[in-house]
Amino acid sequence: MQRIFSGIAPSGVPTLGNYLGAIRNWVALQEGHACLYCLVDLHAITTFQDPDALRSQTRTQAAILLAAGIDADRHILFNQSAVSAHARLAWIFNCVARVGWLNRMTQFKDKAGKDREAASAGLYVYPTLMAADILAYHATRVPVGDDQRQHLELANDIAQKFNHDYGVTFFPTVEALVPPEAARVMSLRDGGRKMSKSDPSDQSRINLTDDADAIALKIRRARTDAPPLPSEAAGLEGRPEARNLVAIMAALSGRSVAAVLAEHGGQGFGVFKEALTARVVATVAPIAGEAGRLLGDPAHLDGVLRDGAARARAIAEPVVREAERIVGFLG
């Protein structure tokens, strides 16, 4: 059985972008795969997190993933810092990856912003830790949104160079599983920016904890242009906000953009946004409700993560010990 690994950073409440780009796929892939899903708290602190907020966000994410359908009995849900193998393998990978490779990472450039000198060193080596997350389990399939593709290519470069430098065939190739629609959900305020859980504007995103009223308000206020929806996908050219809302509708209703436009083409945004709101509420409200219930018992959530970490450790520990032996550590 192929092993799946994926992660989400507890740097805020998961958004509809996280759901459509990743979490929904995580749930579906549980059939027929052995899955590990990780709350990547080591990655989260590459930008400063208030410690209490980090604790609470980690629990909120665990609750949301369980509410969305992650089965923590049959699969593994855990937080990254609880399994030290990730950080050990990441160090080895820091010594395999080349500075030139890291300099090409677009996410670092985006996240570091104008003042790159002031970014943390952790933010710079973020992708080597990601490679370690996956390869510590010899996982081969990684369900992610479009923005993580480049990091997975880097993981393959690192695995290949490790194998080559040490003359082994130890680390496998990893494959990105990116959904066909809504692989990059954009901000509701700016069609040129990704919807992000760490965006300062709450109006820019749908949180998976939002209730029906909040969702309706955010979609009503979502930025659009004036013309009605086109009847064909080509008509979305140069209309990023319209394209984004149509892509969200397509992903939520299991249709293509073309099929959505065949139904809604010619409609104004007032009508279309109402239909979209109904779809978003139907998906998000049950998750938000169940997550709220689970958050009432934080000790239970902590227990789920502890149990997941113990099972994750049992898989990662022998792999990382072997990597350390290959490198020449006495152990």
Burial string for 215-236 (b: 16+ CB within 10 Å, else e) reads bbebbeebbbeeebbbeebebb
Choose the stretch contacting ligand TYM; rule: CB under 6 A; options: 87-95, 126-134, 219-227, 290-298.
Answer: 126-134
Tokens read off for 106: 């677009």
Is residue 6 a contact point for ligand TYM (CB under 6 A)? yes
Among 24, 43, 88, 243, binds ligand TYM (CB under 6 A): 43
Is residue 308 a contact point for ligand TYM (CB under 6 A)? no
d(CA 247, CA 255): 9
Choose the stretch contacting ligand TYM; rule: CB under 6 A; options: 20-28, 97-105, 228-236, 295-303.
Answer: 20-28
Helices (H), the chain: 16-18, 24-28, 41-44, 51-68, 85-96, 99-103, 106-112, 121-124, 126-135, 149-166, 212-221, 240-253, 257-264, 269-295, 298-327
Tell the smallest beta-carbon distance from residue 330 to ligand TYM (Å): 29
Is residue 18 a contact point for ligand TYM (CB under 6 A)? yes
Task: State the CB neighbour count (10 A cutoff) for residue 153.
Answer: 15
Q: Give the helix/strand (H/E) hosting 141.
A: strand 141-143
Among 58, 148, 244, 283, binds ligand TYM (CB under 6 A): 148
Q: Give the helix/strand (H/E) hosting 175.
A: strand 175-177
Which one-letter amino acid corresponds to residue 26? W
Among 21, 191, 230, 308, binds ligand TYM (CB under 6 A): 21
Residues 6 or more apart from 96 whose CB is under 8 A from it? 128, 158, 161, 162, 165
Among 75, 88, 194, 264, binds ligand TYM (CB under 6 A): 194
Cβ-closest position to ligand TYM: 21
Is residue 156 a contact point for ligand TYM (CB under 6 A)? no
d(CA 51, CA 59): 13
Is residue 142 a contact point for ligand TYM (CB under 6 A)? yes
Is residue 144 a contact point for ligand TYM (CB under 6 A)? yes
Among 72, 195, 248, 305, binds ligand TYM (CB under 6 A): 195
Identified catalytic residue from 109, 114, 194, 273: 194
Is residue 280 a contact point for ligand TYM (CB under 6 A)? no
Cβ proximity to ligand TYM: between 185 and 250 the closer is 185
Is residue 58 a contact point for ligand TYM (CB under 6 A)? no
| 111 is annotated as an active-site residue | yes
Cβ proximity to ligand TYM: between 141 and 161 the closer is 141
Would you mind telling me the total number of residues written for the chain in this entry? 331
Identified catalytic residue from 111, 114, 161, 218: 111
DSSP of 8-38: E--SS--BHHHIIIIIHHHHHTTTTSEEEEE
Is residue 124 a contact point for ligand TYM (CB under 6 A)? no
Residue 150, CA atoms < 13 Å, CB-side half-sphere: 12
Query: Using CB under 6 A as the criterion, which residues of the chain lie in contact with ligand TYM when the complex forms?
Result: 5-9, 17-18, 20-22, 40, 43, 130, 133-134, 142, 144-145, 147-148, 183-185, 194-195
